[in-house]
Amino acid sequence: MNLLTLVLFLPLAAFVIALAIPRASSARTSRLWALIGSLGIFAASLGLLAWFDRTAAGEQFLVDVPWIGTPNIHFAVSVNGVSLWLVLLSTFLTPLCVLISWNSIKDRCKEFYAFLLLLEFGLVGVFLAQDLFLFYVFWEVSLVPMYFLIGIWGHDRRIYAAVKFFLYTMAGSVLMLAAIIYIYNKTLTFSYPAILEMLANGKLSFPAGEQMLLFLAFFIAFAIKVPLFPLHTWLPDAHVEAPAAGSIMLAGVMLKMGTYGILHFCLPLFPSAARACAPWIGVLAIIGIVYGSLVALVQPNLKKLVAYTSVAHLGFVVLGIFSFTQQGLDGAVYQMLNHGVSTGALFLFVGILYERRHSLEIADYGGVATVAPWLSTAFLITTLASIGLPMLNNFVGEFLVLQGTAIANFTWTVWASLGVILSACYMLWMYQRVFYGEAGPEVRGHIPDLNGREWAAILPLIVMMVWMGVYSQSFLPPVGKNTARVLEQTNVNVPYRVQQWDRPGHPLGRLSAPALAAPRGTEVARAR
């Protein structure tokens, strides 16, 4: 029992306790417990950060306990430079979700907070699992609480959205299960590190056709979750119908299950297939970016608009991953975190607005800035972060991704940059319509400024936006170590040769690396 298992099982324990709270006690008890519990979990996960060895590249805090004898399934968890941040993101966002749901969730409070904690358990588990079976278990388990969160506490079309969400994910993941079993039958182990080692020392190899099928089985499951165009159609529904906390967890963390899965499993396991598919996936990602942005531009519904920005932002992440460059991968991971913080904040604000005005239509707002200046200021910072203004978090990620894609394929960069421009259009236009102009009587009467509880939820996010934008050094080195390892793994037994531009040292330093001087390096190398 080390710190990692503690961080993993605390949410489960908190969930059980939340369920055990007697029905007779007030809703306040459940809320308080959820807040205390989730803050405790966050504190424990900070301990993880404190003891994480930032100089090492590999997996840390390994726990490996046999779980089921035949087939040989282990409870194996560990944390690396990427999953560390994703775990922290989950534990960081959960207390904020509790705060934001404080007054908006009145019905069946106990169940709501219990499901929120169970969701946290599932999400943390997904990022930590090092056993393919265990990974699948967490992957599916996280589905159930989210299904209930959307279905019970959502808006009008919540049932449709919840069922669609569940079925979409389920349909994708059953094929992943088949692939996992296939790999087990071939290797007789579910242990991910063991499989990677077999791949590295040549004991195991997937022939081209087989590798492609396995890759697709994994990739489609992940792509649905990301969501990659054209598999994104569940997302607007789920986001719009979910309660604020559900949207925050869904956009903030759950979508990253997909991108993390691609990075952590697809690339190292099936490098050749991944590289062979990269041109297609890159195109889909770019379509996602442009299409998501264009649809966001014309959305009359605030929440739907933010939902479509997720499609666009996650397109950047996928693009970065499939650039197969150090910068691209670093940027992709950083963008996952950024998106969690800034889109989480956007959904939080939408939740706050909805709580006041009971409408998600942009047309029902206008002039909010005059009645709620602090709310508007905080929202503006978040908007600018989401657009990718320098000094705020998204800029760093987008820059790295674009740089990485420039090395891999310059045309991609051009198209993806279009997304950056469009994001400024739709976000600023939305901001203008909601916050400026004449305040109508409805807005004037119903929208008070932020209260203390809401400040407590928002301030940490804004601090993170600035911190991640100004001093990415605090976050990037462990990420870089791990993505470098992933890149190395993708070069094992691969007919392609990829030039490595990265230089030891900090990642911002890498920006001046010879990368920009030879943007088509990859192509040259491939030709050879």
Partner 1 sequence: MPVSPVFNPQDALRFLPEIILTVMGTLLMVLDPLIHKRGSNAFGHLSLMALAAALGASVYAYTIGGPAFGGMLMVDGFATFFRVLVIVVGILTVLPSYRFLAQQNAETSEYHALLLFSIAGQCLMAASNDLIMVFIGLEISSIASYILAGYLRDDKRSNEAALKYFLLGSFATAFFLYGVALIYGATGSVNLLLVRRAVLHQAGDPILAVAAALMFVGLAFKVSAAPFQIWAPDVYQGAPTPVSAFLSAGPKAAAFAIFLRIFVTAFDPIGNRWEPLVWTCALASMCVGNFAALLQTNIKRMLAYSSIAHAGYVLVALSAHSDTGTAAAMFYLASYAFMNVGAFSAVSVLTGKGERFQSIDDFKGLGRKQPLTAALFAIFLLSLIGVPLTGGFFGKFYIFKAALDSHLYWLTVLGLLNSAVAAYYYLRILVVMYMHEPGEATESAEPLSPGLRIALLVPALGTLFLGIFPTWVLEFAGKSSAIVK
**Which residues contact partner 1 (rule: CB under 8 A)?**
23, 68-71, 108, 133, 136-138, 140-141, 143-144, 147-148, 151-152, 158-159, 162-163, 166-167, 170-171, 174-175, 177-178, 181-182, 184-185
Contact in structure between 319 and 228 (CB atoms under 8 Å): no
Q: Which amino acid is at 354?
A: Y
Residues 133 and 177: their CA atoms lie apart, in Å, by 8
Q: CB 158 → partner 1: shortest distance, Å? A: 7
Q: CB 159 → partner 1: shortest distance, Å? A: 5
Q: Which two tokens stand for residue 444?
A: 């004037």
The closest of 360, 256, 375, 389 to 310, measured between CA atoms, is 256
- Burial of residue 505 (number of CB atoms within 10 Å: 0-12, 13-18, 19+): exposed
Beta carbon nearer to partner 1, 105 or 162: 162
Angle, alpha carbons 306-312-316 (nearest 5°): 135
- Burial of residue 70 (number of CB atoms within 10 Å: 0-12, 13-18, 19+): exposed
Estimate to the nearest angstrom the gap between the alpha carbon of 384 and the chain centroid: 19
Beta carbon nearer to partner 1, 144 or 294: 144
Beta carbon nearer to partner 1, 70 or 201: 70
Q: CB 175 → partner 1: shortest distance, Å? A: 7
Contact in structure between 419 and 335 (CB atoms under 8 Å): no
Contact in structure between 146 and 250 (CB atoms under 8 Å): yes
Beta carbon nearer to partner 1, 117 or 457: 117
- Please name the residues in contact with 500: beta carbons below 8 A apart, sequence gap of 6 or more: 326, 487
What is the number of helices (H) and of strands (E) in the chain?
Answer: 25, 2
Q: Which two tokens stand for residue 473?
A: 């050094």
Dihedral angle, C-alpha 460, 397, 317, 424, nearest 10 °: 80
Q: CB 226 → partner 1: shortest distance, Å? A: 19
Beta carbon nearer to partner 1, 179 or 281: 179
Q: CB 162 → partner 1: shortest distance, Å? A: 8
Q: CB 451 → partner 1: shortest distance, Å? A: 31
Q: CB 62 → partner 1: shortest distance, Å? A: 22
Beta carbon nearer to partner 1, 12 or 389: 12
Beta carbon nearer to partner 1, 112 or 316: 112
Beta carbon nearer to partner 1, 211 or 423: 211
Q: CB 166 → partner 1: shortest distance, Å? A: 6
Beta carbon nearer to partner 1, 63 or 181: 181
Residues 487 and 498: their CA atoms lie apart, in Å, by 9
Residues 205 and 360: their CA atoms lie apart, in Å, by 52
Q: CB 254 → partner 1: shortest distance, Å? A: 16
| DSSP strands (E only) in 25-125 | 60-68, 73-79
